[in-house]
Amino acid sequence: MACISLSEVSRSYVSEAATSIVLDKANLDIPKGAFTAICGPSGSGKSTLLNMIGALDRPDSGTILIDGMDITTLPDSMLASFRNEKIGFVFQSFHLLPVLTATENVAWPLYFKAVPRRERMRIAQQKLTLVGLAEHANKMPGHLSGGQRQRVAIARALVCEPAIILADEPTANLDRNTAKDVINLMQTLNQEYGVTFIFATHDPLVISHAKQVVTLNEGKLIFLSSSEMKEAASHV
């Protein structure tokens, strides 16, 4: 069974000036353990798609199954716990809380699961060790480099042991060497722990590491062939 399954999903933005159709009865199946890039130029709908898979936004029509559960009909009251259980998010600009230490940032999602503080901090430190930041656990984000901040964000995404991590342009604010390190880390988490990764990206470096690449074309989602993937990754 697919881990993520979109069926006939449509999403438009309507304004007085225009209607922009982002997805038009799009279909997509992504298996468990995938390391999949959603690629396309700015404005093509990558974030919209990721936000719907992560239940931050709802489609106008169609169904989205995550591990067999239809999240499009899930009541609002259940969406937060669904996200907390199943999905970790990583963003381009890290989205760390500046007044919290690295450990406190990583521990934050566990607060909403009513995990006691001592246990939250223990789990957060374990995740920081996993991403290679054990020595920086007590630092504020302002005292960390961009690459280190993104590692903290990845540790936070992992803290509730999600099946899926959605990463929206995770390398866009990183220099090339740091971007490579961050992708290698995500690849290790994918291979060793089986976490499913979906990236929204137009970074050829991310595309070159992806197992599959999906593109958005006139509202449809299409897997690239291996030669198209090579071409898309050829500008690294």
Q: Which is nearer to ligand ADP, 5 or 48 (CB)?
A: 48
72, two tokens = 């499009």
**Largest CA-CA distance found in the chain, in angstroms, rounded:** 53
Q: Applying CB under 6 A, does 20 fall inside the site for ligand ADP?
A: yes
DSSP single-letter state for residue 11: E
Q: Indicate the SS3 state at residue 215.
A: strand
Residue choice 10, 44, 173, 187 for contact with ligand ADP (CB under 6 A)? 44
Two tokens at 96?
């760390």
User: Does residue 45 bind ligand ADP (CB under 6 A)?
Assistant: yes
Draw the binding track, 45-74, toward Mg ion (x: CB under 5 A; -: no contact). -xx---------------------------
Size of the site for Mg ion (CB under 5 A): 2
By the 8 A CB rule, do 118 and 107 touch? Answer: no
Binding to ligand ADP (CB under 6 A) within 164-223 occurs at 200
Stretch that binds Mg ion, among 41-49, 118-126, 171-179, 190-198 (CB under 5 A): 41-49
- Interaction pattern, residues 83-122, with ligand ADP; x per rule: CB under 6 A: ----------------------------------------
Question: Six-digit token pair at 162?
Answer: 């999600």
Measured CA distances, 110 to 103, 225, 227 (Å): 12, 40, 43
d(CA 44, CA 210): 19
Among residues 202 and 211, whose Cβ is nearest to ligand ADP? Answer: 202
Q: In the beta sheet, which residues pair with residue 38?
A: 200, 214
Say which amino acid occupies 27: N
Residue 63's SS3 state is: strand
Per CB under 5 A, contacts with Mg ion among 155-214 are: none
Residue from 3, 30, 46, 94 that binds ligand ADP (CB under 6 A)? 46
> Which residues bind to ligand ADP, rule: CB under 6 A?
13, 20, 22, 40, 42-48, 200
